[in-house]
Amino acid sequence: MKERDFDIWLSKFRASIATYDYYIDFEKVYRNVDEIKIELNILNSLIGSKNIKEDFIKVLKKYPETLKVIPILLAKRENEIYCQDENGGYLYRFKVEKYPPNSHLFYERCCYFMEQTGLFDLLQNHLINNLVDYVTGVETGLDSNGRKNRGGHLMEDLVEKYIQKAGFMKDVNYFKEMYLVDIEKRWNKDLSALSNQGKAAKRFDFVVKTASTIYAIETNFYTGGGSKLNETARSYKMLSKEAETVEGVEFVWFTDGIGWKSARGNLRETFEVMEHIYSIDDMENKVMQEIFK
C-alpha cells in the first residue's frame, strides 16, 4: 500500500455508525408486550374504577397471574421491589406462587403498594386509556438502555460485512470471536508470543485465513475520549510487534470514531509503526481485498 498521511486519515473518522435499528429494537418491544398482553388487558378493567381497591383485590383473587405484570408498570423488570416509608420497609415479591391464595395481609400489602407508588391513581383517574399501549411505551423506554450493548457490536457487524464482501465465508475462511488457543489447534501454530507465553487467554474479534497467512483482527469504534483509548493504542501496538515474530501471522486493527481525536498522540504512534491499521474509509475503499490475499 502507498504511504498514508495520519492527519488526513484521522480527518475521515466518523462521528457515529448508528444503524436504523440501533435506537430501538421494536421487535423485542412487541415480543415483550405480547407475552403479558392477556394480563394487561385484564387489568384494563380497573381503568376508571370508582372502587379501585376492592376491584383490584377481586382481580387478584380471580386472576392471580396478573400480579407478575405490576413491576413493568413502574418500568421495572425485576419481580422483587423494595419500598419503605415512615411505616417501615417491605420487599414485595411479585410471584404468584409465593403467596397463599386468600391471605388478607397479602392483599392489603398489594393495595398499599399500588396506592403509594401512584399506580392506583394512574388507573382510577383515567391518566391512561390502555395498559397495553402504556407498557409498549415503557418497554420502548427501557430498550433505549440497550443501546450501549448494541453500540458495542456495531463496528464488529460493519467489519464483518466488509469481510464477507471481500469474498470470505464464515466458519470456512473467516471466524468470529476466536481464542488464541483455538487458532493454535486449528492451524498448528505456536502463538505464545501473543499470549504472554500462554498466560493470557486472548480472543480476537475475527480471524481471516488465506492460503499463506492467518490474520488476527480486532475492531472498535469510539465516540468519546478517555484513558481507555490510550491503553488500547499502546496494547495493539505491542500486539502488532509480537505478531511480527510469528511467521504466517499478522495482526490487523480496524478502528474509527471521533473519540480518537482526543487521543491522537497515542494513535499516531501506533499508526506510524503498525502496518495493518485501518478505518471505515479504508474498508469502503476495498482495503480488505488488498491485504487479505
- Give the pLDDT confidence of 48-65 residue by residue, as tens digits: 999 999 999 999 999 999
- Count of other CB atoms within 10 angstroms of residue 274: 20
Residues 9-26 have a mean pLDDT of 91
Q: What is the pLDDT at residue 99? A: 53
Radius of gyration of the chain (CA): 28
The phi, psi pair for 41, rounded to 5°, reads -65, -30
Contacts of the segment 147-154: beta carbons below 8 A, 24+ positions apart = 147/22, 147/23, 150/21, 150/22, 150/25, 151/18, 151/22, 151/221, 154/17, 154/18, 154/19, 154/22, 154/221
Q: For residue 254, which amino acid is it?
A: F
Q: What is the pLDDT at residue 228? A: 87
- Give the pLDDT confidence of 71-92 residue by residue, as tens digits: 999 999 999 999 999 988 999 9
Within 8 A by CB and 6+ apart from 81, the residues are 71, 74, 91, 92, 94, 113
Largest CA distance in the chain: 80
Burial of 246 per CB tally in 10 Å (0-12, 13-18, 19+): middle
Q: Residue 287: is its pLDDT beyond 60? A: yes
Q: Does domain 6-18+147-291 have CATH number 2.70.98?
A: no
Q: H or E stretch including 263?
A: none
How far apart are alpha carbons 53 and 19 in whole angstroms? Answer: 46
Q: What is the pLDDT at residue 144? A: 80
* Pairing state between β 214-221 and 203-209: antiparallel
Could you give the angle at the alpha carbon of 239 between the alpha carbons of 187 and 219, nearest 5°?
85
Q: What is the pLDDT at residue 293? A: 84
Q: What is the pLDDT at residue 102? A: 61
Report the SS3 class of residue 93: strand
Q: What is the pLDDT at residue 1? A: 58
- For every residue of 31-55, DSSP letters joined together read HHHHHTHHHHHHHGGGTT-SSHHHH
Q: Grid coordinates in use for 26?
A: 421494536
Read off the pLDDT band of 200 (50, 70, 90).
low
* Best CA proximity match to 94, nearest among 64, 118, 130, 62: 64
* Best CA proximity match to 186, nearest among 161, 216, 156, 219: 216
Residues 94-102 have a mean pLDDT of 64
> Start-end ranges of CATH 3.40.1350 in the chain?
6-18+147-291
Residues 116-122 have a mean pLDDT of 95
Share of the chain above pLDDT 90, in %: 74
pTM of the model: 0.71
Q: What is the pLDDT at residue 104? A: 83
Q: Residue 290: is its pLDDT beyond 90? A: yes
Q: Residue 175: beta bridge partners?
A: 207
